[in-house]
Amino acid sequence: MRLGSYLALLRENPAFARLYAAQLISFAGDWFATVALLGLALELTGLAGLAALVLVLQTGGFAVAAPLAGILADRIDRRRLLIAADLARVPVALGFLLARDAGTLWIAFACVTLLAVGAAVFEPTHGSAPKYTGQNKVNPMAMMLSGVMLLRHLKELSAADRMEGAIADVIREGRSVTYDMKPHRDDPTAVGTSEVADAVIERLKVAA
């Protein structure tokens, strides 16, 4: 898919462009923090194993907390849980400022773990919507793009490109998209989950 197609997609869908930009900023912040922590661990100790421990704590903390987070997401008001997860991570993130030498590096490791736990609470909460079950209303694009990533992992690059191109065409056209990708959420022309899938399938047939 050419760069011009991506730019047109963002230009013609301002709501999607804002969401895309917000996610880029969030991911960039996460990775810059990870790089900084790896550098800090190496600088203070000179041990590559301790630097690797940062990644272990990130993934391990998330994995351990994720099952409990799913339960919380089902039982507690999602908006409050999202806000609480973000607010709780603010003082934790500031805790990195206390890690100034090898003797206080453990503080950074504790903060990494707690941030991973907070992320584990945030992710299933903002990514689930049980109240929409069976309503044919939820946007399926994220799941489809996950399929694109799987195809790339399996080295099915041509199929991944066709799938990604079909999804981009549907979004850029703006007709067969769910309510959350319309300029106004009450837009009567919004379609359902299955209609989005049908539109992508039709685009795939054209590209075949």
CA distance 119 to 89: 9
The residue ranges of every structural domain in the chain are: 3-128, 141-207
- Per residue in 75-130, pLDDT (tens digit) is 777 778 878 888 888 898 889 889 888 889 899 999 999 988 888 887 766 555 66
Residue 196 scores a pLDDT above 90 = yes
Q: pTM of the entire structure?
A: 0.56
40-66: pLDDT as tens digits: 888 888 888 888 888 899 888 888 888
Residues with Cβ within 8 Å of residue 159, at least 6 apart in sequence: 151
pLDDT at residue 126 in the model: 55
Please enumerate in sequence order all residues whose Cβ is within 8 A of that of 195, keeping only pairs 6 or more positions apart, or say none.
Answer: 176
Query: What is the structure's pLDDT at 187?
Result: 86
Asked whether 143 and 197 are in contact (CB, 8 A), the reply is no
The answer to whether 166 and 203 are in contact (CB under 8 A) is: yes
* pLDDT(137) > 70: yes
Amino acid of residue 4: G
Task: Please give the average per-residue pLDDT across 149-166, as a whole number.
Answer: 92
Q: What is the pLDDT of residue 130?
A: 62
**pLDDT > 90 fraction of the chain, expressed in percent and rounded:** 25
pLDDT of residue 78: 74
pLDDT at 5: 66
